[in-house]
Amino acid sequence: MKDLPDAHHDGAAEPGAQRQPRGTGRRLHGAIAYKLGVAILSGEYAPGDVLSSEVEFSEALDVSRGAYREAVQVLAAKGLVESRPKAGTKVLPRERWRLLDPDVLAWAFAGEPDMQLIRDLFELRAVVEPAAARFAAERRDREDLRKMKEALAGMRRHTLATDAGRAADRDFHDAILQATRNDAIKMLSASIGAAVHWTTQYKQRARALPRNPIPDHAKVYDAILAGDGDAASAAMRVLVDLALEDTRSVMPGAESGEGA
Amino acid sequence: MKDLPDAHHDGAAEPGAQRQPRGTGRRLHGAIAYKLGVAILSGEYAPGDVLSSEVEFSEALDVSRGAYREAVQVLAAKGLVESRPKAGTKVLPRERWRLLDPDVLAWAFAGEPDMQLIRDLFELRAVVEPAAARFAAERRDREDLRKMKEALAGMRRHTLATDAGRAADRDFHDAILQATRNDAIKMLSASIGAAVHWTTQYKQRARALPRNPIPDHAKVYDAILAGDGDAASAAMRVLVDLALEDTRSVMPGAESGEGA
DNA sequence: ACACCGTAATAAGTAGGAGTAATAAGGAGA
DNA sequence: TCTCCTTATTACTCCTACTTATTACGGTGT
């Protein structure tokens, strides 16, 4: 094969990764899936388009049919394509895509991110995260609170400009999700959170934040500590809105005037 | 191969399907993925377990290694397993599973459904669906309203005891999702809705509903028609709670007293 | 205009073997 | 005794070549 940017650590592709120019980094079919996935998500192949035949495509990529087929199975598993004999492998309509799959999100954000998708994700986030904070406030135990407190201290110590600080930020939010005692919410929130993080962080790494985020995080913690669901929900809502603003300031054409 | 129940229509496996005893119905690797997926979701293989080696397993199933590998790639794409040289293919911890993937949900509900998962899904649903109704109320256009009205009429004409009635019910909810103008919410809601539907419908097909659902649906429609987000949200919340009650009455050990 | 049927294109599946990476065991040096 | 390095094994990874099954499409007859 030639020069596919390959996904690393655990198959979860990251945008703009491209570790080794020589494609020895990760699994071959993973790299192919990444390439195809990005191509589809970026609109290079439109829904309804039929990919070149199996042999043709695999020869073009200079890989065996087996490796190519495995990659296609991955895409099919995520609802991006469908293969049928005689008809070929065609890109499915967007409704069938598993848009909330972490890999699909990674592929979506690998290229130029779609503003509409970002808006949709933030909207969903604004719905789910406050609810998660509410559940956390109602169900947290001592251990959850300890983790949150520790993470918050970490955020204070290092700032969000450092890697350690951002790790602490992640820990804080992870602790909240853990406290929801709800696997579905946990997973959904983690996926969206990671995806959204990429947009702000990848584009523009260390830059002055529009506002010190610590007090807002502390408000969430205090509410969860007090077991006050309403307050936790409201405080988290502020955090999400803040993140949205942060993202919006980075994006180029970002205006859509609705405040739900 | 022997007698794998095979997934039909579009690769989305349904619980208790098992069309042809002779495995001619669908694709081979899909059938294998279904079998393995159900085995993992049902706990037959626990996280951390290592599956038999490629050659061994493929011979046991009487399929070629290629077919087996493709099935494993599907599972890997959904975060259920991870394959590494020398280490074998091992089941990943539950946190890594894409629990909201339609196929994974189908596999989860193919066997004995996990009450905890159902609770989690309903909780998430109770968060997302009312919000969806709110968005729909704020963004619906004439066409959306027409579809909802038509679906509502269909529900009245046929009852929910008939297939046509249930189809109309689906149409109604689909129309609402369409009106949200949010792909992420649309997909999430559709996945969960379908999954939850299986539990109630598969276990106990036509039975007396505890309450006539039409007026409650009509309330949602009226609120969306009026563009009243708060009312739409509240009315949808009632519908979700109703569905939860319906499910709870079917399930065996179902009690957990929390009302958010 | 329609239903039937044959053909060809394409994916699906089979078989086996060489390559490679990860793990574990064993040995050398401190 | 401990650590580090080398080696060997094991199981996935990837390839090649071939056979089979499915199905879209177009032709044929009514």
| Residue B70 touches chain A, beta carbons under 8 Å | yes
B114-250: CATH number: 1.20.120.530
Q: What is the C-alpha separation between A4 and B45, in angstroms, rounded?
A: 34
Please tell me the distance from the alpha carbon of residue A71 to that of residue B256, in angstroms, as a whole number.
Answer: 43
Q: What is the pLDDT of residue B104?
A: 97
Inter-chain CB proximity A128 and B124 less than 8 Å: yes
The SS3 assignment for A90 reads: strand
Spatial separation of the C-alpha atoms in residues A137 and A118, rounded to whole Å: 28
The answer to whether residues A218 and A129 touch, using CB atoms and an 8 Å cutoff, is no
- Alpha-carbon Rg for chain B, nearest whole angstrom, is 21
How far CA B194 is from CA of A44, B42, B176, B204, in Å, comes to 31, 19, 15, 16
| Phi, psi for residue A5 in degrees, rounded to 5 | -70, 130
β-pair partners for B90? B50, B82
What is the separation of C-alpha A37 from the centre of its chain, rounded to a whole number of angstroms?
A: 15
> Of A70, A76, A98, which has the smallest distance from its Cβ to B101's Cβ?
A98
Query: What is d(CA B190, CA A95) in angstroms, rounded to the nearest whole number?
Result: 10
Over residues A164-178, mean pLDDT: 94
Under-50 pLDDT residues of chain B? 1-25, 254-260
Q: What is the pLDDT of residue A210?
A: 67
Q: Once rounded to an integer, what is the mean pLDDT over residues A41-63?
A: 96
Full 3-state SS string of B171-183: HHHHHHHHHHCCH
Q: What is the pLDDT of residue B253?
A: 55
- Is the minimum CB–CB distance between B11 and chain A shorter than 8 Å? yes
Assess contact for A41 and A110: CB atoms under 8 A: yes
Predicted structure pTM score: 0.89
Distance (Å, whole) CA A234 – CA A214: 16
Spatial distance between the Cα atoms of B242 and A40, rounded to a whole number of angstroms: 40
Residue A90 in contact with residue A179, Cβ under 8 Å? Answer: no
Q: Which residue has the tokens 């097909």?
A: B205
Tell me the nt nearest to A1, Cα to C1'.
D14
| Cβ-contact A177, A132 below 8 angstroms | yes
Higher-confidence residue of A167 and B2: namely A167
CB-based contact A185:B124 (threshold 8 Å): yes
Is the CATH number of domain B1-112 1.10.10.10?
yes
**Which pLDDT value is given to residue B136?**
98
Domain A113-250: which CATH number of 3.30.565.10, 1.20.120.520, 1.20.120.530, 1.10.3720.10: 1.20.120.530
User: What is the CB neighbour count within 10 angstroms for residue B16?
Assistant: 11
Check pLDDT > 90 for residue A113: no
Task: Please give the pLDDT value at position A209.
Answer: 63
Q: What is the pLDDT of residues A232-255, one digit of tens each?
A: 999 999 999 999 888 887 776 544
- What span, in angstroms and rounded, lies between the C-alpha atoms of B229 and B26? 44
In terms of DSSP bridges, do strands B88-91 and B81-84 run parallel, antiparallel, or are they unpaired? antiparallel
Amino acid B14: pLDDT: 45
Count other Cβ atoms within 10 Å, centred on residue A212.
10
Nearest to A77 among B74, B131, B188 (CB): B74
CATH topology assigned to domain A1-111: Arc Repressor Mutant, subunit A (1.10.10)
Q: Is the CB of A47 under 7 A from strand C?
A: no
Domain boundaries, chain B: 1-112, 114-250
pLDDT of residue B10: 42
How many angstroms separate the CA of residue B137 from the nearest CA in chain A? 12
Question: Which pLDDT tens digit goes with each residue over B143-174?
Answer: 999 999 999 999 999 988 888 888 999 999 99
Query: Please, which contacts does A207-210 make with residues 24 or more away whose CB atoms are closer than 8 Å?
Result: A209/A160, A209/A246, A210/A245, A210/A246, A210/A249
Q: Is the CB of B63 under 7 A from strand C?
A: yes
Residue among B207, B247, B206, B205 at smallest CA distance from B114: B247
Residue in B240, B235, B207, B209 with CA at minimum distance from that of residue B221 = B235
Q: Tell me: the pLDDT tens digits for A174-226?
A: 999 999 999 999 999 999 999 988 887 665 555 566 678 899 999 999 999 99
Residue A50 predicted with pLDDT over 60:
yes
Contacts of A189 (CB under 8 A, 6+ apart): A125, A128, A129, A132, A173, A177
Which residues have C-beta within 8 Å of that of residue A236, sequence separation ≥ 6?
A129, A130, A132, A133, A176, A220
